[in-house]
Amino acid sequence: MKRGFLIIVMIVCLILIAIPLLSGCNKSSAPSPTLSATEIIDQCSGRMETVDSFHIEITQVGGTTPLAMGLEMSKAAGDVVRPDRLKAEITATVKGLPVRVEVITVGNMTFVTNPLTDKWEPFPSQFSAAGIFDRNTGIAAVLRHGTNLSKLEDQNAAGLPCYHIKGNITTDDLVPITRLFTLNSLNGVDIAIDIWCDTGDFLLRQIRLEGQITADEKPGIIRTITLSDFNESVQIELP
């Protein structure tokens, strides 16, 4: 009886030792696939086509962007909701004085707050937030228009592990994004773009653009566009 018990114990011990060894062998024989820069961008753009809303923040270093009403934008933050709604707050200066302006777009109608009176006023504009979600020209398409793409080491963006892709893009292909803050973008100018795509869900987390988008900007201007709060319930109505 005692001998039989010892044999059972030995068998159990051998099984416990073997399990992690076998698991290790299985892992090494089936490594996770390494995705190329193009494959990552394809998955990221496809994922962004399924998004119904997101929060966006734009920060700038090395210069400001000229807007209407004499505004010089330094940063902006807001929400975009499918199919055609946007609400944002713009931090800017007017003749060197700091101001904040709110913007609301629903369909083809845009209202802004007057920086002097703080009252809402209709703003004649060709911009429609619907372009941001358009499959052929929107933010998902912007990702696919990048050229000379290369995959760098994975890197955190907005506090999340991300694939880091570097490349180039023309200002023409950036119009759906740049129209968030300016209608006066340059045509056919090539600028550097960095893209951070979440390694877990392939959502776009951050874009970095280096170079002039409008003629009045400084050549070394750098924009960082951060996206978050995907598919959150956001209500946007005209004032």
Q: Which of 179, 129, 139 is nearest to 49 (CA)?
A: 139
The average confidence (pLDDT) of the chain is 82
Confidence of residue 62 (pLDDT cuts 50, 70, 90): very high
The model's pTM is 0.81
141 inside domain: yes
Our count of domains for the chain comes to: 1
- Domain harbouring 191, CATH code: 2.50.20.20
Interatomic CA distance for residues 137 and 142, integer angstroms: 7
CA separation for the pair 220, 40 (Å, rounded): 28
pLDDT bin (cut points 50, 70, 90) of residue 32 is: very low
Q: Is the pLDDT of residue 239 over 70?
A: yes
Q: Which of 87, 120, 114, 81 is nearest to 103 (CA)?
A: 87
How confident is residue 125, by pLDDT bands cut at 50, 70 and 90? low
Measured CA angle at 150 (ends 63, 186), to 5 deg: 35
Tell whether 239 is covered by a domain: no
pLDDT, tens digit, for every residue of 174-226?
Answer: 876 666 566 577 888 899 999 999 999 999 999 999 998 888 888 889 999 99
Instruction: Classify residue 54: in a domain, yes or no.
Output: yes
> 5-9, 54-58, 121-125, 155-159: lowest mean pLDDT where?
5-9
Domain that includes residue 199, residue range = 37-228
For the record, the structure tokens of 178 come out as: 């740049």
**Dist CA 217 CA 233 (whole Å):** 36
Q: What is the number of other CB atoms lying within 10 angstroms of the CB of residue 212?
A: 19
